[in-house]
Structure 1
């Protein structure tokens, strides 16, 4: 697929974060789990568990100046179900580590809303960022990967998955006739971090389920 087609079809990207995290995101950028652990010098057994294990609950990590970053849970991706889904001899620990090195955005608002209204999250507040797709993707184009499914979900069925699930923009299959993606893009994935993310945020808001709690200052 061509980049021009991607950004025309998905002019907005969406990221769901912990409530109250927008101020730190403005300061540090949008960090993957790995980037967060690096920034706050988390190492040893704790780091290994956070990078390669299943986070059934949110986990707080702390900076030396009192900063608090919350690593989101991975409830939809328990070890036993993930093990059934993985192909090519990939171990769950490898998959967790891979996903924890990425920053994930939704290409479709409908998928964001589905997650916001999922049973595990609909009673909680979340900070949602609406991103300007074209300049963001074009700046990070060489490392952007696309995925047609929720790579971190194994419910209601543990659909098979492997490394080929993630494709570069140019490798993502598109129609020869129309240039449109054969499978709709679900996730637009960035490597490690987006340090300048605030340049691309069109809207920041606190939401709970379908309800807007408040608009956040850019």
Structure 2
């Protein structure tokens, strides 16, 4: 299915998020994990923890001058090998920087 067909068949898209994150979504839009990490200026260790493997608990990000953001857990994610574009890697998928099938 191409983008045009997807939009034609499903003109509305829904996304659920934590109520804690709503002010951040309103202010910055819906951001990938990678973009949230950049925005909040997380250090290398925290960056690696959040991008290196699927996380089983949500993480609330906080920084002065920013509304909190929540990186949701990925426990519901099933069959990731079927979701990852063959030209990408699991780390790119988890970071939100790769297309999905």
Same fold (TM over 0.5): yes
Q: Which has the higher contact order (CA 8 A, sep 6+)?
A: 1
Deviation at 1:59, TM superposition (A): 0.9
Pick closer, same or farther for the CA change 1:100–1:2 going to 2, 3 Å: closer
Give the number of aligned pairs: 96
Question: More helix by proportion, 1 or 2?
Answer: 2
Tell me, what secondary structure is at the counterpart of 2:15? strand
Structure 2 residue corresponding to 1:98, chosen from 93, 97, 100: 93
Deviation at 1:23, TM superposition (A): 2.1
Deviation at 1:8, TM superposition (A): 1.8
TM-score (norm 1): 0.38
Tell me, what secondary structure is at the counterpart of 1:17? coil
Q: RMSD across aligned C-alpha pairs, in angstroms?
A: 2.9
Deviation at 1:2, TM superposition (A): 5.3
- Unaligned residue ranges in structure 2 (runs of 5+): none
Deviation at 1:42, TM superposition (A): 0.8
TM-score (norm 2): 0.73
Pick closer, same or farther for the CA change 1:23–1:67 going to 2, 3 Å: closer
Q: Distance in 2 between matches of 1:99 and 1:53?
A: 7
Asked if the contact 2:21–2:69 (Cα under 8 Å) also holds between the matched residues in 1, the reply is: yes
Tell me, what secondary structure is at the counterpart of 2:16? strand
Deviations 1:100-143 (A, max 9, x none): 225xxxxxxxxxxxxxxxxxxxxxxxxxxxxxxxxxxxxxxxx9
- Unaligned residue ranges in structure 1 (runs of 5+): 103-142, 148-165, 167-218
